[in-house]
Amino acid sequence: MGITSKNRHLAYGALASFGTYFCMYAFRKPFTVATYENLSIIGIDYKIALIIAQVIGYMLSKFIGIKLISELKPENRLKYLLAMIAFAELSLILFAGLPSPYNIFCMFLNGLSLGMIWGVVFSYVEGRKVTEILGVILCSSFIVSSGVVKSAGLMVMTYLDVSEFWMPAATGAFFLLPFIGFAMLLDRMPPPTEEDKILREERLPMSQKDRKRVLVNFLFPLLILVFFYVCLTAMRDFRDNFSREIWDAVGYKGDVAIYTLSEIPVAIIVLVTIGMFAFIKNNYRAFQYYHYLLIVGALLVGVSTFLFQNTIIGPAFWMILVGLGLYMCYVPFNCIFFDRMIATFRIKGNAGYLIYIADAFGYLGSMAVLLYKNFGQDTVSWLRFFMNGSYVISGIGILVSIVSLWYFKRKYERSNQGPEKEIQIVNL
């Protein structure tokens, strides 16, 4: 018997999208495991300067992607992926070859080249009956990959005796061919079926007029949700970029495996939890439940931090729970929250547009937190700063999710598109 279209979608999409984005992280994150001790530029810690430079490039790329990704045509996807990753590796080679502090600009170029890869990869998997499953598998790649590539970077320095400056390029080189292979496999993924287009809305390139129409119709919820996502991205990136400093502070200094082992349970739980949403047939109901998930994730961040602060739970369990709460909120915003929103309100366009609006401002917030920590709270430890931020993100997340849920419920009811009028989705 021949393989069915549904199984091809799952097989190609799951393996290729996961592999492509997993390998991308090897060009983005390994440098953060280095310490670059005793280096600074105009009073800024050298490592922080590198992270800020990369985040600025990444952020600028997201703003460019609001237009580019929303207008992306299928035939250009693979060319974009290959060109971006080649430029990213070249920037890492230049980072190693140029003297400090001039090589900081190379990290800006690295971020600029990598920022649009997510939008290109997700454009392959959105608008399908199985988008939830593909989306969480794709998102789990950046949950797991961040720890794995940092462990890989540390191993490159430890066992291959590579310097801190050549380590990012060397680590990326190990993942270059796998990235190309997964990207080519992703490009062979079958397009959405006619059934997918009916049930989840056909995803189309958007014009400037299309983008403006969406903003006008959904301005208020997008404003508050993007504000939450700004805070969420800042905390998630802070945890990611300074995980070594935080783990060192709680007693895991020198433990190479902890970066990977602490993220695996987070990825599994998030994958299973959000994957179950694929079996919710009604788009509006699934969209409501995503709001409930945001509330649960925000609560988990605050409650676990309180328990750790009062020595009720240990540091490793706390880091896992905080990571779980952050990613329970972060992952939906990166793909499936907006995918279900488009399907619920039958928006003519694509999820990449909304994702990149959120991401652009999200990384602006991430950069703001880095600057604030370095200049406004430089006497506060990395651990204390992260704990304080966890309480803030918890409160904001709960409030924004409740208000957003109330708004969308009213808008849906006014649209006279009751649940009974939705197209019934057949079983997966």
Give tens-digit pLDDT for 63-106. Answer: 999 999 999 999 999 999 999 999 999 999 999 999 988 999 99
Q: Are 353 and 70 in contact (CB under 8 A)?
A: yes
User: What is the full DSSP assignment across 11-78?
Assistant: HHHHHHHHHHHHHHGGGTSGGGG---TT-EETTEEHHHHHHHHHHHHHHHHHHHHHHHTTT--GGGHH
Kindly state the average pLDDT of the residues 224-232. 92
CA distance 10 to 13: 5
What is the SS3 assignment for 255? coil
How confident is the model at residue 2, as a pLDDT?
46
Tokens 């676990």 locate to 304
What is the separation, in whole angstroms, between the first and last Cα of the chain?
19
pTM listed for this prediction: 0.79
Give the model's confidence band at 423: pLDDT under 50 very low, under 70 low, under 90 confident, else very high.
very low
Distance CA 323, CA 327 (A): 6
pLDDT digits (tens, 9 = 90+) for 282-310: 889 999 999 999 999 999 999 999 999 99
Query: What structural domains and CATH numbers belong to the chain?
Result: 5-421 (1.20.1250.20)
Rounded Cα distance between 327 and 373, Å, is 22
Question: Given a cut of 50, is residue 421 above it in pLDDT?
Answer: no
For range 38-63, the mean pLDDT: 88
Q: Are 41 and 101 in contact (CB under 8 A)?
A: yes
Q: Report the C-alpha gap between 313 and 304 in whole angstroms.
A: 8
C-alpha–C-alpha distance, residues 283 and 132, integer Å: 11
Record the tokens describing residue 65, joined without a space.
Answer: 């992607």
Measured CA to CA, the distance from residue 339 to residue 255 in angstroms comes to: 39
